[in-house]
């Protein structure tokens, strides 16, 4: 059958839909939608259905609780608690003099909340978080998330066409909100992240960027050999074109580009320049290439057709972020297709977090695997090249990109019995086991005597507009367990094993409690951004400087670890480094293995291969420890 009918039949099956967090249920429910339907069921969209995803997301999120705004008493109490914890870092005898008063905090808090727009009051945390992400001046290749999805076909044009068709179906499907925005049991999750993933461009600014959506767009931007092309993926009635029609347009691009490679590409600037430099250059381009810039920024998505095809997945993850001939990073969602047909995606972290991105990828992957490269009406459409003029003259205004922190990355796969792994997922143990193993692996190489500070991002999509809360999950309890795990070995006596099991139970309970408290808004991390905003608003003083130092000390981390316990559609996923001398881990679960990507900078680079081997061993040891408790 023609997959296009999927768009229109889904509304009739809403009772069967469930969250993308439950892929087997999702597969079973969506399978019904493909049985017995044919091309004849296609109908044009009504005018009411052709509205922007932003509008739909706002309506959807209106029924979700707002993120709680703390009272000034609670906020000051949290500041005092943090201040007390790190007072040993303050000058001797100056503790009382450097503490901020309740009145000073109250005045700053009042000034912030009184100026909050109404829409920010629904989720003040997201408003501050997104502004900070958009205000970061580093190149986007440093902050993007990269995801490898495997081979849809062995042909680059076919994979690109199938992916764009699936994305068009997902974009226009009324089921997008039912599948990703609800758990199927009456509980809703925010959808603004998904809305900012499609037909959205990040416009560079001198001080802060902003997101621009183009709800009337019907095309994708396809880059190949420094050339950009408009490829139609929706028709004039906003219905998805068949995969066959899109594939033919991609093939035609190869024919057009065979006549010669472009000299240089605008996408090079969007990926590698610091944002203020790219903003300055973009303003110059708008004077000489206004139409081209408008077309470039108005697409539904951007597609990079890579010529390079490294065998190593880590090198592919690098190209997804910074291939200067075809990676346009201002689009918040970018597709990458390698010459051997492997598909990948890049997400801008300012617009979307890893959890929402994985749900969207799962929905799109399901559609793509049931699409056909040969079925459906094949319309004869031609891609249109976007012409830029005088790009060579613009290069004189380009400063050399700032140095990125040197980094190394690696990937490992830990194979586990499928029944055992399924049991661990059902018991919600996968994340904790990997988190503790990750901490232990780092601690086995850490000898500076300082406490290890590992952050885990906690998804808050159960609040309107919710993003992530960076939460400290390494604690004295987890540290005690990890140290004992490192010290023990297979020859340890029974008493040592019993002690280790007891310590594991304590660490497991604490990790679960931290995540639960964070989701309820009951931890110091939940209000960290508001604390920092209050301090920034205060006039310069010794007290302000001390408060800033205390907060930086409390919310600075050495490493991060996150992932998805079950995402079989993702081959591997890599986080972005937060800063120099940092290590980030990201995992995805399959039916019989866990795939973990590590990326390191600074002193961690030299040890990353040893860390990889230790992590694999420790994961197996912690799983065996858990089995001994059963």
Q: Tell me the angle at which helices 528-537 and 542-554 cross, rounded to the nearest 10 degrees.
A: 160
Question: How many residues in total does the chain contain?
Answer: 630
Q: Give the number of other CB atoms < 10 A from CB of residue 119.
A: 11
Residue 217 makes CB contacts below 8 A (sequence gap 6+) with: 199, 298, 299, 300
The 10 Å CB-count burial string (b at 16+, else e) for 358-368 is bbbbbbbbbbb
Task: Choose, from 196, 241, 349, 590, the residue flagged as catalytic.
Answer: 349
Residue 141 has what DSSP assignment?
G
User: Which of 303, 302, 305, 340 lies closest to 150 in space, CA to CA?
Assistant: 340
- Residue 179 phi/psi, 5-degree rounding, is -80, -45
**Taking a C-beta distance cutoff of 8 angstroms, is the pair 316, 342 a contact?**
yes
3-state secondary structure (DSSP) of residue 532: helix
- Give yes or no: 41 in active site: no
Question: What span, in angstroms and rounded, lies between the C-alpha atoms of 21 and 296?
Answer: 33
Distance of CA 463 to the CA centre of its chain: 18
Beta strands (DSSP E) in 452-514 are 454-459, 468-472
3-state secondary structure (DSSP) of residue 210: strand
Residue 34 makes CB contacts below 8 A (sequence gap 6+) with: 1, 3, 6, 370
Q: Give the number of other CB atoms < 10 A from CB of residue 169.
A: 28
Structure tokens at 10: 């889904």
Strands lying side by side in the sheet with 407-415: 407-415, 593-601, 583-589, 559-564, 454-459, 468-472
User: Which of 383, 317, 333 lies closest to 199 in space, CA to CA?
Assistant: 333
Residue 532 CB burial class (10 angstroms; 0-12, 13-18, ≥19): middle
Question: What span, in angstroms and rounded, lies between the C-alpha atoms of 179 and 624?
Answer: 36
The number of helix segments (H) and strand segments (E) in the chain equals 25, 16
Cα distances (angstroms) measured from residue 474 to each of 89, 249, 559, 563: 20, 51, 10, 17
**Taking a C-beta distance cutoff of 8 angstroms, is the pair 430, 589 a contact?**
yes
**Taking a C-beta distance cutoff of 8 angstroms, is the pair 511, 473 a contact?**
yes
Residue 447 makes CB contacts below 8 A (sequence gap 6+) with: none
Structure tokens at 598: 């590590």
Question: What span, in angstroms and rounded, lies between the C-alpha atoms of 373 and 162?
Answer: 7
Residue 294 makes CB contacts below 8 A (sequence gap 6+) with: none
Q: Give the number of other CB atoms < 10 A from CB of residue 457.
A: 18
Structure tokens at 357: 């991105």
Cα distances (angstroms) measured from residue 284 to each of 105, 178, 325, 331: 44, 43, 21, 20
**Taking a C-beta distance cutoff of 8 angstroms, is the pair 221, 301 a contact?**
yes
Question: What span, in angstroms and rounded, lies between the C-alpha atoms of 479 and 501?
Answer: 14
List residues with catalytic annotation. Answer: 349
């Amino acid at each position: 059958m023609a997959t296009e009918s999927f768009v229109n039949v889904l509304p009739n099956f809403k009772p069967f839909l469930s969250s993308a967090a439950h892929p087997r249920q999702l597969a079973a429910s969506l399978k019904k939608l493909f049985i017995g339907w044919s091309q004849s069921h296609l109908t044009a969209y009504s005018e009411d259905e052709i509205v922007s995803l932003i509008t739909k997301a706002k309506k959807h999120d209106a029924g979700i609780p707002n993120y709680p705004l703390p009272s000034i008493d609670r906020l000051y109490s949290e500041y005092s608690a943090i201040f007390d914890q790190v007072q040993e870092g303050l000058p001797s005898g100056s503790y009382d003099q450097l503490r901020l008063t309740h009145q000073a905090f109250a005045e700053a808090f009042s000034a912030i909340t009184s100026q909050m727009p109404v829409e920010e009051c629904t989720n003040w945390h997201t408003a501050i978080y997104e502004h900070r992400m958009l205000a970061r001046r580093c190149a986007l290749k440093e902050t993007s998330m990269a995801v490898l999805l495997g081979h849809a076909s062995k042909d680059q044009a076919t994979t690109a066409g199938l992916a764009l068709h699936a994305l068009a179906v997902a974009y226009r499907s009324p089921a997008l909100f039912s599948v990703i925005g609800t758990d199927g049991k009456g509980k809703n999750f925010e959808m603004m992240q998904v809305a900012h993933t499609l037909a959205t461009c990040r416009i560079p600014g001198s001080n802060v960027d902003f997101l621009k959506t183009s709800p009337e767009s019907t095309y994708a931007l396809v880059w190949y050999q420094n050339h950009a092309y408009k490829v139609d993926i929706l028709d004039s009635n906003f219905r998805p074109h068949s995969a066959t029609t899109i594939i033919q347009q991609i093939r035609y691009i190869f024919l057009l580009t065979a006549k010669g490679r472009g000299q240089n590409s605008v996408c090079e600037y969007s990926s590698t320049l610091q944002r203020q430099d790219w903003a300055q250059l973009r303003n110059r381009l708008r004077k000489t290439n206004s139409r081209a810039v408008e077309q470039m920024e108005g697409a539904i998505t951007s597609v990079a057709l890579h010529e390079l095809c490294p065998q190593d997945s880590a090198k592919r993850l690098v190209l997804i972020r910074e291939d200067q001939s075809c990676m346009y990073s201002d689009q918040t969602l970018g597709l990458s297709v390698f010459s051997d047909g492997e598909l990948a995606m890049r997400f801008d972290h300012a617009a979307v977090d890893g959890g929402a991105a994985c749900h969207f990828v799962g929905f799109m992957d399901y559609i793509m695997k049931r699409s056909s490269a040969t079925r459906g009406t094949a319309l004869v459409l031609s891609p249109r090249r976007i012409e830029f003029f005088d790009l060579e003259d613009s290069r004189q205004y380009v400063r050399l990109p700032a140095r990125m922190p040197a980094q190394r990355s690696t990937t490992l796969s830990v194979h586990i019995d499928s029944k055992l792994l399924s049991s661990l997922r059902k018991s919600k143990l996968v994340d904790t086991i990997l988190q503790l193993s990750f901490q232990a692996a780092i601690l086995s190489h850490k000898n500076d005597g300082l406490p290890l500070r590992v952050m885990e991002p906690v998804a808050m999509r159960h609040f309107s507009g919710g993003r992530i809360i960076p939460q400290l999950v390494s604690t004295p309890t987890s540290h005690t367990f990890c140290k004992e795990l490192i010290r023990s070995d297979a020859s340890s006596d029974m008493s040592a094993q019993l002690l280790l099991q007891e310590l594991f139970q304590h660490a497991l309970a604490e990790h679960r409690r931290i995540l639960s408290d964070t989701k309820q808004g009951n931890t110091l991390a939940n209000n960290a951004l508001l604390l920092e905003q209050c301090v920034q608003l205060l006039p310069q003083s010794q007290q302000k400087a001390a408060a800033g130092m205390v907060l930086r000390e409390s919310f600075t981390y050495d490493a991060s670890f996150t992932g998805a316990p079950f995402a079989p559609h993702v081959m591997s996923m890599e986080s972005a480094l937060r800063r120099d001398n940092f290590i980030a881990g990201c995992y995805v679960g399959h039916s019989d293995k866990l795939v973990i990507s590590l990326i390191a900078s600074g002193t961690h680079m030299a040890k990353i291969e040893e860390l990889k081997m230790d992590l694999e061993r420790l994961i197996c040891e912690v799983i065996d420890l858990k089995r001994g408790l059963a």
